[in-house]
Structure 1
């Protein structure tokens, strides 16, 4: 029996008005694998990720995530974490309190989840008591990734996670993503940094390589 892939995309097509963005895209990502989609802005990388994450309905084609429809069930969102959409920051909650909220939402004990260690890994422990809107764009990106890795998941869908990170932070984040894969997690992401993608243990592929022959 063939193992069920984490992601199966068949004949995916999306247009904005009369302009086609994705045409007959095919993609299979096995469980525990990592794929990074590269290419210039405007060629549909984010649109593909949004469709896979269940945040956008395609015009045609089929998508299965662990054998089910994307975004269709609570089980999907327990298994999948995505940074495709900008995060929602709750007014008045600090960075640490956002982390505590994520833990509680996913059945983790905040006291035992290693929140301070997670923030420290991303270099924002000193901002744990700040509210996220007061952080710089790079610090917000670090917090977003820290929260994504803090909660349990089986699949991460990340849109340019290296954005607004300095070289040291890129190296650290790539190592954390590689460790996530080594623990059995699956990654689908878009990136402009091939070195970052390779360090994260993902296979780099261009959008043109995903079009059905």
Structure 2
């Protein structure tokens, strides 16, 4: 049974068509990578799949039902979109400990810090981190908890090439364990490294695998 199904999904914003009759499915163990230029509709699609934006027409099913704001839905779905609002009074370690406590994670926080190369900055405030370090912290907070689906909007941004390779390996392992990933990205190398199903979006429509025509 597919984890994500979008049928004939359309969105109008500001008088323009952002998504135009989009169809998409993602199965357990699959990574679906949606590529395309800025403004083509990738982020809007992820917002519809997460339930943060209601489409003008069409249907979305996630984990067998419509996406919702219920805690039960978000216990199964991890979303990385805009940078989170960090708590100034908490350190990097304390942010991840809070995630672990909230979601009943038994894996030690030290493991997440090591996996996302944040051990040396564990006692710092997120606001004192570099842009790349904050992106790794956001990824850690999203991925270091149980989920069945990850929705990731350009997770590679601000990451160096070495960590992009590491991220690809993490996402492959997540999918191999039965998780599903739908992500928007500009990084063709990341898509290849993840062995993802590559889709291209152009003018609000999912078209085909392969490069977007000039």
- Asked if 1:148 is matched to 2:142, the reply is yes
Q: Please, what TM-score do these two structures have when normalized by structure 2?
A: 0.92
Farther off after superposition, 89-98 or 115-124? 115-124
Q: Please name the residue that 2:206 is paired with.
A: 210
The whole-number CA distance in structure 1 between the counterparts of 2:141 and 2:66 is 24
Q: Please name the residue that 1:29 is paired with.
A: 26
**What is the CA distance between 1:71 and its match in structure 2?**
2.2
**What is the CA distance between 1:69 and its match in structure 2?**
1.1
Aligned length, in residue pairs: 205
Q: Which of 188, 192, 195 is the aligned partner of 2:186?
A: 192
Q: Cα deviation per residue 1:138-159 (whole Å; 9 max; x = unaligned)?
A: 1000111112121000000001
Q: Please name the residue that 1:161 is paired with.
A: 155
Identify unmatched segments of 5+ residues in structure 2.
Answer: 208-214
Structure 1 residue ranges, 4+ long, deviating more than 4 angstroms after superposition: none
Identify unmatched segments of 5+ residues in structure 1.
Answer: none
The whole-number CA distance in structure 2 between the counterparts of 1:140 and 1:116 is 17
Q: Is the 8 A contact 2:80 2:153 kept in 1?
A: yes
**What is the CA distance between 1:105 and its match in structure 2?**
0.8
**What is the CA distance between 1:199 and its match in structure 2?**
1.2
Give the alignment's Cα RMSD to 1 decimal: 1.3
Q: Please name the residue that 2:113 is paired with.
A: 119
The whole-number CA distance in structure 2 between the counterparts of 1:76 and 1:165 is 29
Q: Please name the residue that 1:68 is paired with.
A: 65
**What is the CA distance between 1:114 and its match in structure 2?**
2.4
Q: Please name the residue that 1:107 is paired with.
A: 104
The whole-number CA distance in structure 2 between the counterparts of 1:201 and 1:40 is 21
Describe the SS at the equivalent of 2:75: helix
**What is the CA distance between 1:196 and its match in structure 2?**
0.5
